[in-house]
């Protein structure tokens, strides 16, 4: 591998002249001008975000002169994190070929050794460890089984140590990257992939998603809607609407309104985000919200997120049976959210699929659940 040849000593955690620099965490920024990403931006994020990187990705079209040809599988990617250089190089050594997922390439048993060596300390606890292993070993099932068995055997060997690693992991999870950011990244990726130009952020709150949408010029018209005027003022501050250049200022609008009432201003958009909002609505009024969004506004794509109640068992500070926020009217299990979403989709001619957001627990799922609705007519 070219990476190992070019950065061999750094990959081993050594520096000829500046050993102390090799041992401390540095704020690093890695820019990769052209990166093939099979699985798109969502997969890219699911690889790097659990390791604590923040990810910026820009999709290349096949030919800028002919946008109609569609998107290529190449991306420009910027990763930032505070880490030791060796750690970053080990992540890249494993994950870049995983993203490429090049099939015709012979792999031998020594690739298992390389994977385990470069993956030491992070791969066995990575939520995507299976897919990483599968792709790194070029879909060779026998090698993959061997690698996974060896990755997990340490866990079984010493339960105390496994529990310690787990606790440390939980603690650092929050430092690594906030769930908020992952949610934002996933929603943004869905909206980008949908090709939407005109987008709604329903229940936009203080406008974190709006800021990200505004920073991406492929979104030509952005509308934030919230019932709370106070929250909208905060959003206007955060976005510094007053100070924006006129061309940017024209792209964004904030509207006060309730998602319980039909609103002609919301019709005709390509996509809508409804991020951590539905659980704030009164259950008896959900039917009204369904009509407002799916019958009247009817955007082609809807990305909706809500907490997964099952995952609450992992939050130690949360008393059993309580919600994550006192303004939540309910929190759904995965089965509850999915059956609600499937009913609403089929009644309104949408197709729906579900994606986990945040670190996934084998039994409990991920902390946030996302439904992506696509209009079928």
Q: How far is CA 95 from CA 48, 206, 345, 347, in A?
A: 8, 34, 36, 41
If one asks whether residue 226 binds ligand SAH (CB under 6 A), the answer comes out as yes
Cβ proximity to ligand SAH: between 78 and 238 the closer is: 238
Q: Minimum CB separation from ligand SAH for residue 276, in Å?
A: 4
Cβ proximity to ligand SAH: between 7 and 340 the closer is: 340
Q: Minimum CB separation from ligand SAH for residue 108, in Å?
A: 47
If one asks whether residue 11 binds ligand SAH (CB under 6 A), the answer comes out as no
The answer to whether the beta carbons of residues 231 and 203 sit under 8 Å apart is: no
How deeply is 371 buried, as exposed, middle or buried, from its count of CB atoms within 10 A (0-12, 13-18, 19+)? buried
The DSSP secondary structure of 332-362, one letter per residue, reads B-HHHHHHHHHHHHHHTTEEEEEEEESSPBT
Q: Minimum CB separation from ligand SAH for residue 66, in Å?
A: 36
Signed CA dihedral, 8, 12, 13, 18: sign only: negative
Q: Minimum CB separation from ligand SAH for residue 203, in Å?
A: 3
If one asks whether residue 236 binds ligand SAH (CB under 6 A), the answer comes out as no
For residues 258 and 236, give the distance between their C-alpha atoms in angstroms, rounded to a whole number: 18
Task: Provide the token pair at 362.
Answer: 């084998």
Site for ligand SAH (CB under 6 A): which residue of 125, 258, 338, 342?
258
Q: Count residues near ligand SAH (CB under 6 A).
A: 16
Site for ligand SAH (CB under 6 A): which residue of 116, 227, 241, 288?
227
From the list 14-22, 84-92, 146-154, 275-283, the region that binds ligand SAH by CB under 6 A is: 275-283
Biggest CA–CA distance in the chain, Å, is: 68
For 132, half-sphere exposure in the C-beta direction (CA atoms, 13 angstrom radius) is 27
Site for ligand SAH (CB under 6 A): which residue of 85, 188, 272, 275?
275
Strand (E) positions, 49-154? 54-61, 71-83
Site for ligand SAH (CB under 6 A): which residue of 111, 276, 310, 331?
276
Grouping H, G, I as helix, E, B as strand and the rest as coil, residue 74 is strand
For residues 326 and 322, give the distance between their C-alpha atoms in angstroms, rounded to a whole number: 9
Among 176, 191, 201, CA closest to 42:
191
Cβ proximity to ligand SAH: between 91 and 298 the closer is: 298
Q: Minimum CB separation from ligand SAH for residue 229, in Å?
A: 10
The answer to whether the beta carbons of residues 340 and 236 sit under 8 Å apart is: no
The answer to whether the beta carbons of residues 302 and 292 sit under 8 Å apart is: no
Site string for ligand SAH, 181-220 (x = CB under 6 A): ----------------------xxx--x------------
Task: Report the DSSP pairing between strands 252-256 and 221-226.
Answer: parallel
Site for ligand SAH (CB under 6 A): which residue of 38, 114, 280, 329?
280
If one asks whether residue 55 binds ligand SAH (CB under 6 A), the answer comes out as no
Cβ proximity to ligand SAH: between 275 and 371 the closer is: 275
If one asks whether residue 288 binds ligand SAH (CB under 6 A), the answer comes out as no
If one asks whether residue 259 binds ligand SAH (CB under 6 A), the answer comes out as yes
Using CB under 6 A as the criterion, which residues of the chain lie in contact with ligand SAH when the complex forms?
203-205, 208, 226-228, 231, 258-260, 275-277, 280-281
């Amino acid at each position: 591998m070219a990476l190992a040849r070019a950065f061999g000593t750094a990959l081993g955690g050594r520096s000829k002249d500046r050993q102390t620099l090799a041992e401390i965490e540095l704020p690093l920024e890695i820019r990769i001008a052209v990166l093939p990403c099979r699985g798109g931006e969502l997969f890219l994020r699911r690889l790097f975000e659990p390791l604590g990187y923040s990810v910026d990705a820009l999709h290349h079209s096949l030919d800028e002169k002919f946008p109609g040809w569609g998107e290529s599988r190449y991306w420009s990617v910027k990763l930032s994190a505070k880490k030791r250089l060796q750690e970053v190089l080990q992540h890249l050594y494993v994950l870049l070929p995983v993203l490429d997922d090049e099939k015709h390439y012979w792999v031998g048993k020594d690739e298992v050794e390389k994977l385990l060596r470069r993956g030491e300390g992070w791969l066995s606890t990575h939520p995507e460890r299976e897919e990483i292993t599968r792709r790194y070993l070029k879909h060779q099932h026998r090698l993959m089984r061997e690698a996974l068995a060896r990755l997990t055997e340490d866990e079984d060997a010493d339960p105390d140590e496994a529990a310690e690693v787990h606790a440390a992991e939980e603690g650092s999870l929050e430092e690594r990257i906030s769930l908020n950011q992952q949610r934002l990244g996933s929603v943004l990726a869905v909206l980008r992939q949908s090709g939407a130009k005109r987008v709604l952020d329903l229940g936009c709150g203080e406008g974190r998603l709006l800021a990200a949408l505004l920073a991406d010029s492929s979104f030509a018209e952005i509308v934030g809607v919230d019932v709370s005027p106070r929250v909208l003022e905060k959003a206007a501050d955060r976005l510094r609407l007053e100070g924006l250049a006129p061309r940017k200022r024209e792209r964004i609008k904030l509207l006060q309104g309730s998602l319980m009432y039909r609103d002609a201003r919301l019709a005709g958009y390509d996509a809508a985000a409804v991020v951590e909002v539905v659980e704030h609505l009164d259950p008896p009024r959900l039917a009204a919200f369904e009509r407002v969004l799916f019958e009247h506004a009817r955007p082609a794509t809807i990305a909706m997120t809500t907490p997964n109640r099952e995952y609450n068992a992992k939050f130690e500070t949360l008393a059993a049976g309580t919600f994550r926020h006192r303004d939540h009217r309910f929190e759904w299990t995965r089965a509850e959210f999915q059956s609600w979403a499937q009913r609403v989709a089929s009644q309104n001619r949408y197709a729906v699929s579900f994606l986990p957001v945040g670190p996934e627990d084998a039994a409990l799922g991920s902390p946030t659940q996302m439904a992506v609705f696509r209009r079928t007519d």
